[in-house]
Structures are given as C-alpha cells and as structure tokens.
Amino acid sequence: MNTVCRVGWSRGRRLVSIVVAVIALLGFVAEQAVSAAPQGEFSWPLQPRPRVERQFDKPVRDWLPGHRGVDLAGTPGQAVLAAGDGIVVFAGTVAGKPAVSIDHPGGLRTTYEPVRAEVAVGLRVGRGMRIGTLEAGHEGCGPAACLHWGARRDAGRHSRHEYVDPLGLLHPTPLRLKPVT
C-alpha cells in the first residue's frame, strides 16, 4: 500500500472513530436524560404558555430559604391543567391556600397552588386534564393571579424528597442532530 493510500485510510479510520465516539456519547447522554426523566410527557399547567414570574431556587437544605417551584402568570378563574398523567393525592387546603397534588410514575409529585380543586383524591388524570381553577392572591407575585407549580422526586433513601425544577419536566424543543461532513 503506498503512502497516500495509508494516509487516506488513516484519516478515514480516524473519522469513523470520531463518528462512533460521538454517536456513543449522544446515546449515553440520551440514556441518562431518559432515566432521569419521569415516565410520560409533561406540558404547561396553564394555556396559553404562561410567563414565568419567579424561577425555581433550590434551597441548600430542605429547611433553608429558597423557592421550591416556579410562579407562572395567569388570571383569576383560569383553568389549571395536570402537567402529566398521574393520580390526585391531595385536593384541599394547606396553610389557608387551596392546592392540588398529583403523583406521577417514577416517584414524581407535582403540586399546584392556589388552585380551587375540581378533582377528588384518587382520581386518575391525564396530561392536559383540567384539575381546577386558579385563584388570585399568590403572595409576592405581580400579576392578578400566579400559579405556584412545584415538583419533587422521591430520593429513595429514608423516604426523603428532592425538590426539582418543574420547568425541567418540559421538553419544548426537540433535539436535532446535523450530519457530520
């Protein structure tokens, strides 16, 4: 084999190695994302897509200050929708505020407040199903009404919970891969 052919073969093998490595890396990243994400798809709990008034701010420790969810701008009386498939585990009042909580597959629970429930505990709900109406008066929020949407995942150890950013449940843009040239 002459030198030119060996150089071309070597570059070709290197390119194939790089492509294989990139595909393996993308597969690993996708596998990690799928295993970290709960089962099923999630969508916004308010329609049309709301403005985020206050972002998630995970506390360093469960008992320290932070914001264990996101505040979404809405209007009083607006329909609140289940973000994903699950079972209603709470529909009532907590500290004087009406709230609804839904357990989803994979140990995830989402909570919505202040929401006047239109569902009962034990009801199986689907993504996008109306669960209640948004009430005014969410403290610290500028608009007339804000939905506080929270999410937590079972950590598995000693029944501890880990607060997670509910916006991370949404997948608004599909991943697009470009061809290697």
What's this model's pTM, rounded to 2 decimal places?
0.70
165-175 burial: b if 16+ Cβ within 10 Å, else e: bbbebeeeeee
CA–CA distance, 72 with 138 (Å, rounded to integer): 10
List the chain domain ranges.
1-36, 52-169
Q: What pLDDT is stored for residue 133 in this prediction?
A: 97
How many C-beta atoms surround the C-beta of residue 13 within 10 A? 10
How many C-beta atoms surround the C-beta of residue 46 within 10 A? 23
Does the structure show a pLDDT above 50 at 28?
A: no
Q: How far is CA 103 from CA 7, 29, 88, 98, 107, in A?
A: 59, 26, 6, 17, 7
Contact 79, 47 (CB under 8 A): yes
pLDDT in tens, 100-132: 999 999 899 999 999 999 999 999 999 999 999
Mean confidence (pLDDT) of the chain: 78
CA–CA distance, 72 with 24 (Å, rounded to integer): 38
Categorize the per-residue pLDDT at 68 as very low, low, confident or very high, splitting at 50, 70 and 90.
confident
Domain range 52-169, CATH class: mainly beta
Amino acid type, 180: V
